[in-house]
Structure 1
Amino acid sequence: MKRSHTMKMLSILLLGAMLAAGCSSNAANTASKTAATTNSTAAMTATAEQTAGAASAVELASASAADQADFNENDSLIAWSADSATTVAFSGSAATVTGSGAKAEGGVVTISTAGTYVVSGTIADGQLVIDAPGDANVHLVLNGANITNNDGPAVHVKEAGKAIITLQEGTDNSLTDGATYADTSEEAPTAALYSKGDVTINGTGKLTVTGNAKDGITSKDDLKIMSGTITVNASDDAIVGKDLVAVKDGSLIVAAGGDGMKTTNDTDADKGYVAITGGTFHITSENDGIQAASSILIADGTFEIVSGGGNTKSTKTHEEQFGGPGFRDQAQMQTETTTTAATEETESASAKGLKGTANVAIAGGSFTIDAADDAIHSNANIAIFGGQYSIASGDDGIHADTALAISSGTIAVTKSYEGIESASIAVSGGEIHVTASDDGVNVGGGNDGSGAAGGDMFASTGGVLDISGGYIFVDSEGDGLDSNGNVVMSGGTAVVNGPTMNGNAPLDYNGTFAQSGGTLAAAGSAGMAQAPSDTSKQLALMMTFPSTLTAGTLVTVTDSAGKTIAAFQPTKTFGSFVFSSAALASGESYTISTGGTSSGSATDGLYEDGTVSGSTKVVAFEMGEKVTYVNESGVTTAPSGFGGGRGMGGGGGKRGTPPTDMPNGGTPPADMPVGDQTN
């Protein structure tokens, strides 16, 4: 199969995703301030290019899936004629063959030439074997066939150019193997439906495959599913194609003791893909739901995936120290990262929803994923150009080792350790809601690591969190928006609730936070709170309250004319509030108030329009020319130590000086680690 055109398209697609994230493998390992600034500038330029090409990117992702699948004319071969077909009728313990090209010996039928074979009847211990020339296309019509083999596969394609299996309209068919096979050699078959060559399944009938020994359906070449209702129950992997698994349409109901659907060829650059253009998938798997030895390409489809028993069955451990989520020392981080890398080499340790060993590109579809491990995972890049996602994860909601780009779609991460994580992240569109027990959106190390460059928790990596459009809502126990490198925000809206503990912050970055557009509202603990950098083109304010405010307390910013500039009602307790939008003006007088109610319309607690009544004035101040820091007494300087501008260029204070007391009460222990050590 020739896939050079597909490879070219996919390369363009993923290059666009990487450019939008403003990263490269070399940049990811760069810790210098100069490199961080350069990457921020590059990210802003790339974002404009990516936004302009968002529509074509969706088409490209869809085309890549269809092109990689390479559906051709004979894959759609369904029609057959009784006059020219050979019939195979199973009954009792024997079979009857009418026509040429096949013979029966007891309950075993062997097909030896190209042609159409219509199979019906039931056998309790028999087999259908295809052993034809290497260029022969064998059209196998299952017309109410129920084949059980007690000591081997029910259908064994030993050799053929391609086996095209049609599920005849209106029929129920089943294939079942035995718990143990008579053939125990290295080359022995491993599935109830097993083929050494290409296999295509089409038609509108039903097929139930039971893999008692190991796998359900396995092709040692390409496996394509065009249509039909297919139920697979397997003690190990349910659906396996070595070089390719491609699905055009149909309904797949899968229960697997191993992986639900997978490819295994990890040595050939143009093979090992999973390509899906449509269909309905109900997958329950002990290990990964859908796993590709190379890349996963999805154009459309409806997916319901439960892997590893779901998020409540997660075996992931995230050791923590003082300060709660995210407060691990370097030794603990190294232990966890090493352990994760080691266990992921063991197939049984991986229970992800979607997993691409290379890349994952999704143009559309509906996804409901409940995973013990990452819900969507790539060892390289992820590009999401559309679709609807409801995700619950025992680890990360969406994780890419290298780069992650989101330009469209509706994403709800309802439960996760870290919501969205990659070495670089670009968001140019879409609607994203994240709930995380640690960081909400995290630009950190690759390979599920969270450490900064060179093991220095405060060093800036070359990674970039680039927000140029879309909507992001974060509810986090750890950092809200977190980057071990830089943050660039030129558009869109970001709303952050949390954390509540002082060991983390609503905004956390090691490099710079350059904001030139968009709306940012972030409320959470004050102990390590940061605002955007003073180098930002758009104004911002950061308010530190004299005491912690209860969840649901409205915070209002009004101008000298009494107009409401911002009204935000955080869902968690908070001691700091950061706000930035184009509505802020230098030299203007503003008042910050708390309490009361707003008559405006709210989205996740952020109000538009309307007026506020019943609030209490906290402070009045004049907006400066950059970032304005405010407390109950008025304008102040950027917090030092754990607070404010502790990143490079962050706006004042130098990160890394332990405080003598914690904001809002409490005294830190003598061995308290300095700063957020995971980001």
Structure 2
Amino acid sequence: MRLKTVKILSAATMAVLLSASIAGCSRAQSGGESAEAAQAAVTQSASAPSASEPSAATSTTSTTAASGAASATGTTKLDSSTLFSDRDLAQTADLTAAAQVKLESGKDVTIDAEGVYVLSGDATDATVIVEAPDDAKVQLVLDGVSIVNADAPAIYVKTADKVFVTATDSANRMEVTGAYAADGETNLDAVIFSRADLTLNGTGTLDIVSKEGNGISSKDDLKITGGVYNIQTAADALEANDAILIDDGTVTIDAGKDALHSENEEDATLGYIYIKGGTLNIAAGDDGIQGTSLVQIDGGTIDIAKSEEGIEANYILINDGQIKLYANDDGINAAQKASGDVAIDVNGGTIDVTVGSGDTDAFDSNGDLYVNGGTIKVTAPTSSFDADGTAQLNGGDVTVNGEKITEMPVSRMGGGGGGGGRGGMRR
């Protein structure tokens, strides 16, 4: 077990705040004092004023899945206008009064107040701990950070309202090489582990390696709105209890289990995944994208080169985007994982699905299946479309095994719908 020297970052006096303000940011903002001088100010005190963000009581970024217009199945979809705040989408931090934190090996850093904190330096066995008030918004600015730990997260958010992890135009790396040690009754399992809402953004890169656990885990919402991420994990790459929401950014994932996983056992409206934009390059040992209640894709480029099942949820809604996937089992699968209708709705986008041989389906719904638009290419040796309920091809350009179809070649309970010809569609 490592010996830790805990550096407590407590409430600042006005003089120290002014000192931190003058210090500026070493690479994120030119000019100002050296990083060493800024670190001296932070060591004494490191509470820094935060940029403007709505309070928890007034924030409009509610992520309840039951909002928006009804789909063909009667299931509601997400209203994307409420999902991301202005600060979520801002790719640079307000460094006017940012505090500087120089990381050191063997020393944890504890942040206990709202503010903007610029992290830099290389360290081993060091954790940045956020233990701030429940209404505090904390922004961690990564400005050339390397953290390698044996058994603890690189970033551990214990308490806060919301935490932003923002990469400057710099290269950053975080790795945990062994099994995670628990924090009391809390089972830590990720390189970045948060018990509060978590947003990742910025203009730089962040490489994450988790040899025996997850990459990034949030017990609330996990959002990505910018930046470049390379994530290698033994378990899930991105994991959240309430929701995973992606607006932009480039994320490359090599996961031993699911690439994206959102699951909530207590609230059937949560445990969902929303993708508006960005680029996802995925190789997954299990599912590429798995949500409990909903997966909604409104845009972006998604390439799932390896998976057991490509996309899975209770309800899958595809409105737009460029999607290409390979699955050993089902490609796009709607199964009963939460209360509510089980269905697949495709309204747009360009979708290329290839599945392996055996009892596999390119599109498999344990409920209804609607194709209303989009360009769909299916390569499936056994079954292209499988639905237990209503199956309708209402629009779009659909090709199955090289042949364009105008009626749904649907099979029942697997098999029989692999060819391009007309199958047993139930009317």
TM-score class, shorter-chain normalisation, is: 0.7 to 0.9
Aligned-partner residue type, residue 399 of structure 2: H
Q: Partners of 1:216 and 1:3 in 2: how far apart?
A: 22
Contact 1:119 1:145 in 2 (8 A): yes
> Which residue is equivalent to 1:195?
194
SS at match of 2:68: helix
**For 1:259, what is the secondary structure of its paired residue?**
coil
1:107 Cα shift?
Answer: 1.9
Structure 1: give runs of 5+ residues left out of the alignment. Answer: 18-59, 94-105, 309-350, 452-473, 487-679
Looking at structure 2, the residues matched to 78 and 251 of structure 1 have their Cα atoms a distance apart, in angstroms, of 14
1:459 corresponds to: none
- The residue type equivalent to 1:292 in the other structure is G
Name the residue aligned to 2:84.
71
Which residue identity does 2:80 align to in structure 1?
Answer: A
Report Cα offsets for 1:82-116 as digits up to 9, x if no partner.
5511111124x2xxxxxxxxxxxx52111111100
Q: Partners in 2 of 1:9 and 1:70 — Cα distance?
A: 12
Other-structure match for 1:235: 234
1:425 and 2:357 aligned: no
Native 8 Å contact 2:63 2:243 kept in 1: no
What residue is the counterpart of 1:383 in the other structure? 345
**Shift of residue 123 of structure 1?**
0.7
Give % identity.
Answer: 31
| Mapping of residues 507-526 of structure 1, within 5 Å | none
Cα pair distance change 1:410/1:212, threshold 3 Å:
same
SS across alignment from 2:87:
helix
CA distance in 1: counterparts of 2:185 and 2:305, whole angstroms: 32
Residue 85 in structure 1 maps to residue 98 in structure 2:
yes
Amino acid at match of 2:373: S
Q: Which has the larger radius of gyration?
A: 1
**Letter of the structure 2 residue corresponding to residue 406 of structure 1:** V
Q: Give 2:354's aligned amino acid.
A: A
What SS does structure 2 have at the residue aligned with 1:419? strand
Within 5 A, what are the aligned runs for 1:383-462? 383-394=345-356, 395-423=360-388, 424-435=390-401, 441-445=408-412, 448=413
TM, length-normalised to structure 1: 0.49
Displacement of 1:426? 1.0
- 2:116 corresponding residue in structure 1: 116
Counterpart residue type for residue 146 of structure 2 = N
1:3 Cα shift?
5.1
In structure 2, do the counterparts of structure 1 residues 79 and 365 end up closer, same or farther at CA, with 3 Å as the change threshold? closer
Deviation at 1:428, TM superposition (A): 1.4
Deviation string, structure 1 residues 160-200 (Cα, Å, up to 9, x no partner): 111111111x2011111131223276522110010011000
Query: Which amino acid counterpart does residue 427 of structure 1 have in structure 2?
Result: L
Say yes or no: does 1:372 pair with 2:328: yes
CA distance in 2, matches of 1:385, 1:294: 19
Shift in alpha-carbon separation, 1:302–1:430, aligned structure 2, 3 A? same
Counterpart residue number, 1:353: 310
CA distance in 1, matches of 2:224, 2:85: 12
Alpha-carbon distance, 1:127 to partner: 1.3
User: How much has 1:485 moved relative to structure 2?
Assistant: 3.6
2:255 counterpart letter in structure 1: A
Structure 1 residues 390 and 220 mapped into 2: Cα distance closer, same or farther (>3 Å)? same
CA shift in 2, pair 1:16/1:405, >3 Å: farther
Q: 3-state SS of the aligned residue for 1:288?
A: coil
Partner of 1:75: helix, strand, or coil? helix
TM-superposed deviation, 1:414 = 1.8
Paired residues for 1:411-560 under 5 Å: 411-423=376-388, 424-435=390-401, 441-445=408-412, 448=413, 476=419, 480-483=421-424, 485-486=426-427
Secondary structure, aligned partner of 2:348: strand
RMSD: 2.5
Matched pairs, number: 354
Aligned to 2:11: none
Greater RCO between the two (CA within 8 Å, min separation 6)? Answer: 1
What is the CA–CA distance in structure 1 between the aligned matches of 2:72 and 2:213, rounded to whole Å? 35
Task: Answer whether contact 1:226 1:249 (CA < 8 A) is retained.
Answer: yes
| Residue 227 to residue 78, structure 1, CA distance change in 2 (3 Å) | closer
2:401 is paired with a residue of what secondary structure? strand
Paired position in structure 1 for 2:274: 275
Asked if structure 2 preserves the Cα contact closer than 8 Å seen for 1:65 and 1:275, the reply is: no
Separation of aligned partners in 2, 1:420 and 1:130: 48
Rate the CA distance shift 1:221–1:422 in 2: closer, same or farther, 3 A: same
Normalised TM-score (structure 2): 0.77
Which structure 2 residues correspond to residues 632-651 of structure 1 after superposition, within 5 A?
none
1:209 aligns with 2:211: no
Could you tell me which residue of structure 2 aligns to residue 13 of structure 1? 71
